[in-house]
Amino acid sequence: MGSMPVAIIMQRRAVQHRWGELDSWAAVGIVPDRGELPRLSVLSESAERDYYLVSGLELELYTDENEGYYENIMAPESKVFVLWRMEEGRAMPARASVSYVEGTRMFDSGEAADGVTMPAEIYSWVAGYLREHFTPRPRKGRQHG
């Protein structure tokens, strides 16, 4: 039904552990991709922390996920859910979604996934899509008696 190209901000953080130093990886942000971004851009590097931007992903909206989009938009803090995998020693995003239901599936899958704060531009895009393509069903209260 609709799509938006996006780029994901990823982070590597060195973590001191009593058994040695480990790297912790996470998706920490998302921005709309206006095009012409390289697949991978290093934003900053240090021994303690690296940030890099990965382009080439699309947020896609499908009518069968409308309930999940609606739940996410109505949440106190809307998220974009990012599933990522290790590739050549670096965490690389594989998929992104604005569906709360799909985000839950990502977390339940056992793969690496993070929820990042949804930027205003993406929020407006999803909310506009829902106004055009979704009518929430009235909630049924508890039946007593």
pLDDT 10s digits, 43-102: 999 999 999 999 999 999 999 999 999 999 999 999 999 999 999 999 999 999 999 999
Asked whether the predicted pLDDT for residue 143 surpasses 80, the reply is no
Answer whether residue 141 is part of any domain.
no
What share of the chain in percent tops pLDDT 90?
Answer: 82
Mean pLDDT of the chain: 93
**How many structural domains does the chain have?**
1
Burial state string for 101-113 with b = 16 or more CB within 10 A and e = fewer than 16:
bbbebbeeeeebb
Answer whether residue 78 is part of any domain.
yes
Answer whether residue 31 is part of any domain.
yes
Answer whether residue 109 is part of any domain.
yes
Asked whether the predicted pLDDT for residue 144 surpasses 60, the reply is no
The pLDDT of residue 88: 93
Q: Coil, strand or helix: which one is 68?
A: helix
Binned at pLDDT 50, 70 and 90, residue 18 comes out as: confident
- pTM for this prediction: 0.89
The whole-number average pLDDT for the span 21-50 is 93
- Ranking 12-21, 23-32, 76-85, 104-113 by mean pLDDT, the lowest is 12-21
CA distances from 53 to 49, 75, 129, 134 (A): 14, 26, 26, 33
Angle separating helix axes 120-133 and 66-74, nearest 10 degrees: 130
Answer whether residue 26 is part of any domain.
yes
Answer whether residue 55 is part of any domain.
yes
The pLDDT of residue 97: 98
Structural domain containing residue 108: 2-133
Answer whether residue 138 is part of any domain.
no
In terms of pLDDT, which residue wins out, 21 or 80?
Answer: 80
The pLDDT of residue 1: 63
The pLDDT of residue 94: 97
65 close to 101: Cβ distance less than 8 angstroms: yes
Answer whether residue 40 is part of any domain.
yes
